[in-house]
Amino acid sequence: MAARILDGKALAQSIRNQVAEEVARLQTATGRVPGLTVVLVGDNPASQVYVRNKQNACKAAGMRGTLLRLPGDVEEAKLLATIDALNADPDVHGILVQLPLPHQIDDRQVIERVDPRKDVDGFHPENAGLLAIGQPRFVPCTPLGIRELLLASGIETKGAHAVILGRSQIVGKSMALLLLQKGPGGDATVTVCHAASRDVDDFTRQADILIAAIGRAEHVKARAIKPGAVVIDVGMNRRDDGSLCGDVDYAGAAEVASWITPVPGGVGPMTVALLLRNTLDAFRRLEGA
């Protein structure tokens, strides 16, 4: 059996086109467009690539995309003051502080300082709490993108056993809560495995839907995958030869799974597309549009 490809690149482009159409309509109706500001602290090479992709996506969608660069040695008070100014700016509808931050900055302080109504990353405790109680406002973009992939491909989550490798707030925990929501793309039975979990392969071999988000190159092998499972690979790692790979051994997994995401071209493009949609949603809420 050869797995079918979950083409995140194609679906992401479709979502971006839909967002662009709605942005154009709102601009005609209101004379305003959604504004996303990304705050980049320091010169982390990977972060610069991610930020550039987000800026390009904003421009293509007709949004106002702004980048604020701060030096790597910036004081936390300066960064917090910058966020306060963005919170108060009516032209800024979405705020994204690119992670990771330098060691002198308390990530939690920064995340909590962002106005939850402009928190298009979905990391603020208020938004995390709304997701937990089944009333989501902004959901982290990667889990949201994964759900869109599942829905668009007609993959049934109701009653399915979903196993998630990794418990980060950005992916693992939020993905679990999203799959537990009532309705389309939810109603799953969810198991979350992490660094302290024992006999992880025993769980993964039970998974109807396996989501790997552990940051370990090609760690998940075919022997740990249930035949016919849907495999979602969130990882983005670089091999010694410079090529990219995920957390799943793709070649082996593709012979066992029913569906699989490629790396690159799977989850990554969806994350950017859903960031645009979250920003559009923030604009609608803040502007009453």
- The residues annotated as belonging to the active site are 54, 98, 121
Token code pair at residue 128: 């995390």
**Pairing of the two strands 161-165 and 94-97:** unpaired
Q: Which residues of 193-203 are buried (b: 16+ CB within 10 A; e: fewer)?
A: beeeeeebeeb
Distance, in Å, from the CA atom of 155 to the CA atom of 256, rounded to the nearest integer, reads: 17
- With residue 163 as reference, give the H or E element that holds it: strand 161-165
d(CA 102, CA 128): 24
- Listed residue (153, 227, 211, 226) closest to 178, CA to CA: 211
Distances (CA, A) of 110 to 83, 118, 147, 256, 267: 8, 13, 27, 43, 26
